[in-house]
Amino acid sequence: MASLVAYDDSDSEAEPEPAGSFNPAGQRKDTSDVVRPPGQNVAPGSLPAKPGSREDPARCHLPLVQLWRSDPGSCPSQRLQWPRTEPEVTFSTSEPPRPSLWTTRAPAGHVPLAAARFKQVKLTWGTYEPPEPSFCARTKSETPGKNGSSLQRKRCEDCVIPYTPKRLRQLQALSTETGKSKDTEAQGPSAGRAPAPAPLCVASRVSEFIQPYLDSPYKETKIPRNVLFHLRGHQGPVNSVQWCPVLSQSHMLLSTSMDKTFKVWNAVDSGSCLQTYSLHGEAVRAARWSPCGQRILSGGFDFAVHLTDLETGTQLFSGQSDFRVTTLKFHPRDHSLFVCGGFSSEMKAWDIRTSKVVRSYKATIQQTLDILFLREGSEFLSSTDASSRDSADRTIIAWDFRSSAKISNQIFHERYTCPSLTLHPREPVFLAQTNGNYLALFSSVWPYRMSRRRRYEGHKVEGYSVGCECSPDGDLLVTGSADGRVLMYSFRTASRARTLHGHSQACVGATFHPLLPSVLATCSWEGDIKIWH
């Protein structure tokens, strides 16, 4: 509560004026218009005795502070020496609190609330009118007239509180801050364990740019031309980027990096980093959104696999594999199952509910580069590093998910490895990125034949794990390049539609937004991410 006695910043004491103030000539002003209680007999030419005055019989029962407040001249020998304090203003709490910027539909170029106080930004909820200060907070210039002076004095006398010296307040504040710092150190992470991220409140938020597209079907993809955001936050190469699969939350972008972290960005509204997760001890090579959009599955070179809750940052599942993990994929039908592969001759299927390996897929290979599910999860493909000078069998292997049996290993017959695979959203075909600097087209049904007529070439791979993807409508293909370019091809004609010169080092990832028709995200080996529009 605010202090009830307001003093001027001077050496003399500031005494409040009585009900009848004095004019400069030393004469008392007329107070005959003061409201008197009904039925009170007043002698002609005199005023009634006020409560707390010298004529009041109950005056002897009043405390010293209240006596001094009612008549300062009555106690000249016992006048209190009050320290000078700055006047404090107390506002009523009847007004509702301001809405936060996170819950409002602010434009993309909005600034935080603290910065809006200095930059006169017109906020979306309009102007804010502060409530009228209470009687105890008014200064002399705001004191009411004759009729309100007695009422103000009565209200101020009713809410007198003990005074706390300034030195004591400083000591109390210092002890409180010291206690908070000790509690923070006591609750800090133990040695060798990464701190848990702060809660991320994104469950109910829908971007104002995405809202108009939620109720309409995806029509066509427009070719992006300009950079909307340039995201810099990773300290190492960025391996992949992926938009959130839930359309209402697709303003979020997931990125994995060799700096042992993966991040979640607001890549549509502000281009800011929402959360950083440091759960792995080595490079994070792969991370995937769960189909519900509330969890993130990550695997790295520390042999660990974690399933992390997006909002709380807690680990819902943790597994330890026998190899460095380089690729992860959720089962398209049963979301509690996923398959991981890496620097090993086998792949493993995990069940999150039991935290156990339910199946193993073994082949005479050294490394699994990518995994792609087909036919609603009954089959899946694995891309491996098995290639020789004369033959390239086992480069792409088709598996039966339930029986762990090989369906075919004679799919790609050229002597190039395929670092990434992607499925067409509408046609029964899939594409494979090859180290021969071209994209190969295959049928997604047995016997998985490769198309000899259609080949997408013009970019460079040169040993990088360059990703490729189709647009949501299937009309465009996008791929990165080892020289930093981003190339888009027409799916029907295999002709080059657009080339973006976006990065100084190898562009290893590119993905179209699932809802916005002209938004593209790319990442590079230099550690930056660009959002194109």
- Dump the DSSP string for 83-139: PP--------S-SPPPPPTTTS---TT---HHHHHHTT---TT---PPPPP-GGG--
Terminal-residue alpha carbon distance, the chain: 53
Provide the phi-psi class of 271: left if phi over 0, else alpha when psi is between -120 and 50, else beta: left
Query: What pLDDT is stored for residue 449 in this prediction?
Result: 93
Query: What pLDDT is stored for residue 508 in this prediction?
Result: 96
- Is residue 512 a contact partner of residue 472, using CB atoms and an 8 Å limit? yes
Q: 520: exposed, middle or buried (C-beta count within 10 Å: 0-12, 13-18, 19+)?
A: buried
- Is residue 387 a contact partner of residue 415, using CB atoms and an 8 Å limit? yes
Evaluated on CA atoms 360, 361, 366, 370, the torsion sign reads negative
Query: What pLDDT is stored for residue 204 in this prediction?
Result: 54
- Return the residue matching tokens 């701190």: 195
For the chain, which domains are there? 1-18+50-95+124-176 (no CATH), 211-532 (2.130.10.10)
Residue 255 bridge partners (DSSP): 241, 263
Query: What pLDDT is stored for residue 391 in this prediction?
Result: 54
Strands, sheet with 325-330, edge to edge from the N-terminal-most edge strand:
325-330, 337-342, 346-351, 356-362
Cα 226–231–235 angle (5° rounding)?
A: 140
Query: What pLDDT is stored for residue 278 in this prediction?
Result: 94
Q: Count of CB atoms within 10 A of residue 154's CB?
A: 12
Query: What pLDDT is stored for residue 154 in this prediction?
Result: 44
Q: Give the whole-number percent of the chain exceeding pLDDT 90.
A: 54
Provide the phi-psi class of 316: left if phi over 0, else alpha when psi is between -120 and 50, else beta: alpha
Encoding tokens for residue 223?
A: 């070719």
Instruction: Look at strands 520-524 and 507-512 and give their pairing.
Output: antiparallel
Cα separations (Å) of 111 from 124, 203, 394, 530? 12, 22, 54, 21
Angstrom distance (rounded) from CA 457 to CA 438: 4
| 371-430 pLDDT per residue, tens | 999 988 999 999 998 765 555 568 999 999 999 999 998 899 888 999 999 999 999 999
> pLDDT truncated to tens, each residue of the chain (533 aa)?
444 444 444 444 444 444 444 444 444 444 444 444 444 444 444 444 445 444 454 444 444 444 444 454 444 444 444 444 444 434 343 444 444 333 333 333 333 333 333 333 333 333 334 444 433 334 334 444 444 444 444 444 444 455 666 666 766 666 555 554 444 443 443 334 445 555 555 545 789 999 999 988 888 899 999 999 999 999 999 999 999 999 999 999 999 999 999 999 999 999 999 999 999 999 999 999 999 999 999 999 999 999 999 988 899 999 999 999 999 999 999 999 999 999 999 999 999 999 999 999 998 888 999 999 998 899 999 999 876 555 556 899 999 999 999 999 889 988 899 999 999 999 999 999 999 999 999 999 999 999 998 999 999 999 899 999 999 999 999 999 999 999 999 999 999 999 999 899 999 999 999 999 999 999 999 999 999 99
| 3-38 pLDDT per residue, tens | 444 444 444 444 444 444 444 444 444 444 444 444
Rounded to two decimals, what is the model's pTM?
0.64
Provide the phi-psi class of 484: left if phi over 0, else alpha when psi is between -120 and 50, else beta: left
Query: What pLDDT is stored for residue 458 in this prediction?
Result: 94
Cα separations (Å) of 444 from 309, 394, 411, 470? 33, 17, 11, 15
